[in-house]
Amino acid sequence: MNGEMATAVSSRSSGGDAAPPRWGTPAVRAAIIGTALIGLALRLWVLFWPGLMSVTQYDDGPYFGSAVRLVHGVLPYRDYAFVQPPGITELMSPAALDSYLSSTASALVIGRFLTVFAGAAALVLAGFLVRHRGALAVLLTCGILAIYPPSVMAAHTVLLEPWLVLLCLAGAVAVFDRDRITASTRRLAWGGVASGFGGAIKLWAIVPVLVIAVLCLPRVRRAAVFAGGVAAGFVIPVLPFVIASPGRFYTDVAVAQLARIGIRVPAWVRFNTMLGTPKFLTEGTVIALAVAVLVFVLAAQAAASWVTRSPPAPLDWFALGSAVLIVLMFLWPPYYAAHYAAFLAPFLALAVALPVARLARGLAARRAQRQPAAAAATADPATAGQAAKGPPAGKPEPPPARRATRRLAGAGLILIGLAVVAGAAAQARPPSRLTGRFDVPAVSLQLIPKGACVVTDSPSYLLIGDRFTSDRPGCSQMVDPLGTDLALGNGRRPATGASHVPAVIGAWRQAFSTAGWALLTPKNPQRIPWNPALRTFFRERFELVGHVDGYNLYTRERPGPAAT
């Protein structure tokens, strides 16, 4: 009898009831839906605040621009430098088709909406992954993910991290059967495919893939099935581009990223973004908060293991191992961008939520186990039989409907609190603090005839201005100016010596030679490898026709009538 009770307690403390509903209890479903709606609303707010037609990020120009190039028959790597795998190009291609029907601006807006929905869908998958642990685990996991500032900001336009997180979570949902690796070969294979396609978005997906592969051991066959799915998910979308240009693919995706040269971003600045804390915090405060989070997670895991008398489950190790490896990965290279932290979000949320929920359920199970024994020990002989049967008649157990109502009410209160925190976080980090906001017609892009050949250091403006595609023969297909510097300069950018690399200078001379127009933003020195010869080459060919707040429009042609 005691063994059966211990087994039941262990089951409840680590994974919930023995046979929970497939889609979770009403409280769990409410928590998933509520946090997903909060996360979606916050991401839509960040999208709409600066305006759908505003330029708020450099990276969405290359990522979405590559999709526009692809649907117009131009291949990355072969025809232009592109320093990421082709997954985002393929994902955005359906949206890019709207450039034929309407404009590149409306196509980019579609891509932005799709990215917002991908960020919200990741919340649902995270909740589905931990639903067997109960409403508290779902609320903590999805709540953190919903309001985590890097996740919210990364979903405001076409960036890689929301899609990468979505695919990694899809892989985890397929691979994990409650707390453990599934025995289903089909689920392992499909989980591997999802994770592999995540690698085709960004190579960082290798981190959770490696953790899952280790957890599959020592069952080599299970690990092999998962690895086969990963290989298929990565190779199938990537192989056509590798065949078209194997050397350039390797140089662009591997060499340009691994050999990137730059000024090292301090570790405490990276921790500040990974914690999602305000930028005004001092170095000491950030380090103290990072240590506090680490101590909290480790203490919660230790306490949960002590209370439940069982070690962490594979799902817990997956979350903790992935989070630690991602943090180490972020600390290693010199270069670091704030939106990178969005990839850490689900694993950090899981690493915090899972041990806390396991500890809470373990304590509840212990209390439930002690109550009948305490009642039997203190009862007199006349009432001992009644105590053994259950609680006294005067204090009946709440009916299931009432318990469910209480749980739903508690989940609702927590959701309201999350909504308040989300609003405060949004106000504290307004979208206007992103890269910037720019009204494209202010520099008279409407003077540029449609189909003209335009070169720029930030393609996002040409996408919004519907001047990204050209029908002029020989026009440069460059979509990523900075990526071109990195790929041709073996990891160098203008600030680290790209202006001394002949291949980089040659690419820019070719772009300027074939272009009839040039749009230079205030950040052009960070992306164009100006040296005296290239600057002279440019000035001899282009004439300034528009200037607004550091944005300069040049032409080699006579400006035409205003176009829309």
- Looking at residue 388, its pLDDT comes to 45
Q: CB of 235 within 8 A of CB of 125?
A: no
| pLDDT band (50, 70, 90) for residue 181 | very high
C-alpha–C-alpha distance, residues 153 and 207, integer Å: 23
Q: pLDDT tens digit string along 343-382?
A: 999 999 999 999 999 998 888 888 877 766 555 555 555 4
Q: Is 158 in the same domain as 276?
A: yes
- Sequence-ordered list of residues with C-beta below 8 angstroms from that of 244, at least 6 positions apart, any chain: 75, 77, 78
CA–CA distances in Å: residue 545 to residues 449, 458, 459, 558, 560:
14, 18, 19, 10, 12
Query: pLDDT tens, 500-509?
Result: 999 999 999 9
pLDDT score of 323 more than 70: yes
Matching residue, tokens 């409280």: 27
Q: CA-CA distance, 425 to 429, in Å (whole number)?
A: 6
Average pLDDT score over residue span 516-538:
93
Q: Give phi and psi for 556, each to the nearest 5.
A: -110, 0
The 10 Å Cβ neighbour count of residue 35 is 31
**Would you list the DSSP string of 3-47?**
HHHHHHHHHHHHH-SSS--TT--HHHHHHHHHHHHHHHHHHHHHH
3-state secondary structure of 513: helix
Residue 496 located in a structural domain: yes
Residue 119 half-sphere exposure toward CB, CA atoms < 13 A: 37
For residue 467, which amino acid is it? R
Q: Taking the CA of residue 324 as centre, how many other CA atoms within 13 Å lie in the half-sphere pointing to its CB?
A: 13
Give a yes or no: residue 472 inside a domain. Answer: yes
**359, 394, 426: which is the final residue of a domain?**
359
**In the listed set 303, 324, 359, which residue is the last one of a domain according to the structure?**
359
Q: Give a yes or no: residue 62 inside a domain.
A: yes
Residue 220 sits in the same domain as residue 77: yes
Q: What six digits make up the tokens of 17?
A: 């009831």
Which residues, in sequence order, are CB contacts of 250 under 8 Å at separation 6+? none
Cis ω for the linkage preceding 218 (within 30 of 0): yes
Do residue 117 and residue 236 come from a single domain? yes
Mean pLDDT of 153-168: 95
Average pLDDT, integer, range 401-406 = 54
Evaluate whether 496 touches 471 at the Cβ level (below 8 Å).
no
Question: Torsions phi, psi of 547, nearest 5?
Answer: -150, 120
pLDDT over 70 (residue 184) = yes
Nearest to 315 by CA among 131, 515, 160, 91: 131
Are residue 343 and residue 459 in the same domain, yes or no? no
Amino acid present at 276: G
Asked, for residue 99, whether it belongs to a domain, the answer is yes
Element (H, E) at 483: helix 481-488
CA 318 – CA 212 distance, rounded (Å) = 7
Domain membership of residue 374 (yes or no) is no
State the pLDDT at residue 380: 52
pLDDT computed for residue 377 by the predictor? 56
Domain that holds residue 110: 45-359
Distance of CA 170 to the CA centre of its chain: 13
Mean pLDDT of the chain: 84
Query: Each residue of 222-241: b (16+ CB within 10 Å) or e?
Result: bbebbbebbebbbeebbeeb
* Judgement on whether residues 344 and 480 belong to the same structural domain of the protein: no
Distances (CA, A) of 405 to 5, 365, 368, 436, 456: 27, 20, 20, 47, 59
- Final residue of a structural domain among 359, 391, 410: 359
pLDDT tens-digit readout, 451-509: 999 999 999 999 998 999 999 989 999 999 999 999 999 888 998 889 999 999 999 99
What is the Rg, in whole angstroms, of the alpha carbon atoms belonging to the chain?
27
| pLDDT tens sequence across 259-315 | 777 778 899 999 999 999 888 899 999 999 999 999 999 999 999 999 989 999 999
Question: What is the distance of C-alpha 166 from the center of its chain?
Answer: 7
* One domain, residues 351 and 448: no
List, in sequence order, every residue forming a beta bridge with 548; answer none if it has no partner.
551
Question: Does residue 418 lie in a domain region?
Answer: no
If phi over 0 gives left and psi between -120 and 50 gives alpha, with beta otherwise, what is residue 560? beta
Weakest-pLDDT range from 12-26, 344-358, 381-395: 381-395
Residue 9 belongs to some domain of the structure: no
pLDDT band at 173 (very low <50, low <70, confident <90, very high): very high
- Tens-digit pLDDT profile for residues 191-226: 999 999 999 999 999 999 999 999 998 889 999 999
Higher-confidence residue of 397 and 161: namely: 161
More confident residue, 44 or 255: 44
DSSP 313: P
Same domain flag for 63 and 153: yes
341 and 459 in one domain? no
Do 239 and 126 fall within a single domain? yes
**391 CB neighbour count, 10 Å cutoff:** 13
pLDDT of 212 reads: 96
Other CB atoms within a 10 A radius of the CB of residue 151 amount to 29
Let me know whether 223 and 79 are in one domain: yes
Number of domains composing the chain: 2
Number of CB atoms found within 10 A of residue 42's CB: 25
What's the CA gap between 366 and 27, in Å, rounded?
22
The two three-digit tokens of residue 210, written as one number? 């490696």
Contact, 168 vs 87, CB < 8 A? no
Q: What is the enclosing helix (H) or strand (E) of 176?
A: strand 176-177
Q: Is residue 35 part of a domain?
A: no
pLDDT computed for residue 10 by the predictor: 42
Full DSSP string of 223-241: HHHHHHHHHHHHHHHHHHH
Residues 318, 449, single domain; the answer is: no
Q: Which tens digits make up the pLDDT trace of 434-457?
A: 333 444 444 567 788 889 999 999
For residue 408, name the pLDDT band (cuts at 50, 70, 90). low
Residue 70 has pLDDT above 50, yes or no: yes
Q: Sign (positive/negative) of CA torsion 150, 155, 158, 161?
A: positive
